[in-house]
Structure 1
């Protein structure tokens, strides 16, 4: 190890230097505290052995300067002194000294104290190396999470279908970098629009990966593997009924094959000619219908989440809509949002908020509802992902 000696007595300095070099250290000797400080600034040292009493700058001042300086690693400081009073030891420790050695020094005691310093330096270097490795791993993990979040964000609606019969608006707010919520609005030919909101149990990477996998099978392309559109013998396609879609999701994503994760979903098809919305729910919060001239209503449906039980048949439900009507699909992050008193926002409060926003535009009403929920939660915001998809019949 590289050791800096600060000793104004020439004989003591030469004895120290010769002894340390004999033990294999790379030694630089300084004639006083100021000379030692200049040498310390010009190079890097692992251990400093300094006399207490020196001209120009004493050992205490030298130690204080060393501790205030920026060094590549920890510097172990041993003070040489003839002082033995408790008060003197306290002064040296408060200045930053690690150990003390009585003058005239004993060869065996010097070696033991140097070895103690070497152990501490080795431990500090090992800790610094581990910390650097952890920081690099954390940087890689952060980059991976950011990349995964971008992939997940890319599966959200980049543009909404433009149809004369309806308007669409949505909001998506993950509580972590990666979320278990996902939603979409998909054009299924000229007459139909597919709409879904889903919520994978849990958060983080596992929930996000499952949500991405599900999103990829919820494609509007008419292929043999598509869930939403199926080609027929004539080369045309049929829109798959919502109950069939959810049942197929349940078959493809059993909980035991998904890391014990399940998900809830509402998937429905809006018929742009009849203005009928047919949907199936798998353990998801109820659709909220907002008739233009009546109070909002939550359409409760009893059903099992996807992945819990095999071979489940999911019942289909429908609602006939008219001009001015709205309906909302959302995840449980809205009604289950809690305030500081651990009180949930709740369905009743949610319905009242929706009712009070019916005069706003669809986009504005979605934004206002989210702000209301965030205000309910206080400064921390919701502890769960919040997703909301709203539809208005023109």
Structure 2
């Protein structure tokens, strides 16, 4: 049904308006009133409440004359909140032919009731709760009378911020036409805002479920969690908007503030998502902005409308700048997926700024209606919000797939390295006449580079190797494999620890990107000990550190000459060899290292006891490096 609006006079033959400053009587020719007509005539307006205001004979000539949607005179504003307003008009119906109807639009969803000649003919659903409730105009049947004095009683609540005449629009026409027009308007309003907001809420809920499942799979990526939180706050925002818009809940201050806080929480969580996603380094400005965001809803609570608008737009501008800065920094640091956020981020920024400016400065910035798909419309603000959420999700999925692939490759490498290491680390100690050797090997969470070999020689001498390769994972395991293979080859014709270190160094230089420390002992049947050290920890003899010549680790320089030391062992002495996993065991509560002093104190214990003591010292902290301990004692024969 088509709606017509007459700016000053309704068609002279159909409607005859009395001059603006005269009486408020309007004559309507029902015979020529075919369509729904928007009445632009002035109403009598008064602030205050009295049941007599509904009576047809009440003298309202002293009341202010205002047209629907007109701004209230500044003199009325201080007395408006909270209070009751009355609006009255006298309709003279000429040539009545069937029932007439009206539809009233009240600004801000304020509660209202309508009287005709002193009798109540309509009441808004929000009147019972005495709180705003966004109910679309509905058809109100006028009584069968040629003269009708309409009185509209409206409750202005404490948090109303509008400065307009509460009666925003007044439509009149044949009752059937009014019913059709209001029903069509209700459907259009639902399709253009409520339906889209409801669907967006469901989409955000699905996004949050996906993001949360990603976080549960990769808990060290907090950006997944913050994306889920961002989407959940968006669900809360759109849910509150939908509930208020369909009239499911009243627009009380509590409900409005919930919607406002959900909107601010969405902005705050979007910034936190970008911080986590970009691995931002300088976050103090962002923390300050987030702190400001926590207090901005108080401006809405205090009804400082202009200050709130300024705070919202300025904070949003700063937010855009910070998010752009962190994304650009991430791109410069090589996080290429950050590029994918920029297009959706730009659309969100443009639509957000345009919508905010249109809401708070409507005279300067027009509010664009959005895009319509048949009978369904979506605002540019909702488009921007959906695009940025979809962009966030796409980028997160891209990172999740990339990280999952990297983790799978890493897991495969660790498994391969663990297999190599298990092959190279002796499972049992060979029985050697005259020696008691104990070993303890506790592998780290990530494959380390510890290795040891115990090789009895045909001459009766026993060669013992203990070393640690730099790095972790498959590369370290392959370096260990190279060293162990070289050891088993070289010991066929060499037994001097110094010469063995020299040849191992030559094998390692140029064939590995890392280096290795190594301690070699040669123990003869009569107890003669010869040892050489390539940057490894010195051995302990009965709780005292054995000094050795300082030498470079293997693999750092090609022309290194290693020296060796000798001494004689007796059957009462215990020799202890270990790797730096013992010294570097870190206490999870104090961050203290196990250190040299504790190592020296426990060096007289068994290999298993030393390793267990170092591991227990960490109090459950992840083991960062392998722990390897060997104890050697001469047995009298």
Measured against the shorter chain, the TM-score band is: 0.5 to 0.7
Figure out how many residues of one structure are paired with residues of the other and give that number.
320
CA contact (8 A) 2:207 2:393 kept: no
Map of 2:534 onto structure 1: 282
Q: Name the CA distance, whole Å, in 2 between partners of 1:334 and 1:370.
A: 7
Is 1:108–2:370 an aligned residue pair? yes
**Structure 2 residue 614 is the aligned partner of structure 1 residue 345:** no
Aligned to 1:241: 496
The structure 1 residue matched to 2:480, chosen from 199, 211, 228, is 211
Contact 2:425 2:453 (8 Å CA) reproduced: yes
Greater share of helix:
2
Counterparts in 2 of 1:90 and 1:67: CA distance versus 1, 3 Å: farther
- Show CA shifts across 1:101-143 (max 9, x none): 99xx974373413421441343143134224302343233233
Q: 1:308/1:123 Cα in 2 relative to 1: closer, same or farther (>3 Å)? A: same
Structure-2 residue corresponding to 1:90: 257
Structure of greater relative contact order (alpha carbons < 8 Å, 6+ residues apart) = 1
Question: Whole-Å Cα distance in 1 between the matches of residues 508 and 519 of structure 2?
Answer: 16
- CA separation in 2, counterparts of 1:210 and 1:245? 17
Instruction: Choose the corresponding residue for 2:549, options 302, 315, 318.
Output: 302
Q: Of 493, 502, 506, which aligns to 1:251?
A: 506
The verdict on how the C-alpha distance between 1:301 and 1:111 changes in structure 2, with shifts beyond 3 A counting, is: same
Gap regions ≥5 residues in structure 2: 1-134, 137-181, 212-230, 267-351, 360-366, 372-377
With normalisation by structure 1, the TM-score equals 0.65
Native 8 Å contact 2:445 2:624 kept in 1: no
**Pick from 386, 389, 394: which aligns with 1:126?**
394
How high is the TM-score relative to the length of structure 2? 0.42
Given that 1:374 and 1:381 are in contact with CA atoms closer than 8 Å, whether structure 2 keeps it comes out as no
CA distance in 2, matches of 1:218, 1:371: 29
Q: What's the counterpart of residue 460 of structure 2?
A: 191
SS of structure 1 residue aligned to 2:482:
helix
Q: Which whole-Å CA distance do the structure 2 matches of 1:144 and 1:204 have between them? A: 7
The structure that has the greater radius of gyration is: 2
**303-312 or 7-16, which moves further after superposition?**
7-16
| 1:318 maps onto 2:586 in alignment | no
Structure 1 residue runs of 5 or longer lacking an equivalent are 1-6, 21-28, 31-47, 52-61, 220-225, 231-238, 291-295, 358-364
1:146-161 equivalences under 5 Å are: 146-161=415-430
Question: Match for 1:265 among 511, 518, 534?
Answer: 518
Distance 2:457 2:591 in 1: 45
Q: What is the root-mean-square deviation of aligned Cα atoms in Å?
A: 4.3
SS at structure 1 position matched to 2:550: coil
- CA deviation after TM superposition for structure 1 residue 150, in Å: 2.8
| 1:390 lines up with 2:631 in the alignment | yes
Q: Distance in 2 between matches of 1:388 and 1:202?
A: 19
Q: Is the 8 A contact 1:177 1:204 kept in 2?
A: yes
User: Match of 1:380?
Assistant: 621
Distance 1:344 1:302, change over 3 A: farther
The aligned counterpart of 2:4 is none
Matches within 5 A, 1:321-332: 321-332=569-580
> Structure 2: how far apart are the matches of 1:16 and 1:129?
35
Distance in 2 separating the partners of 1:199 and 1:262: 9
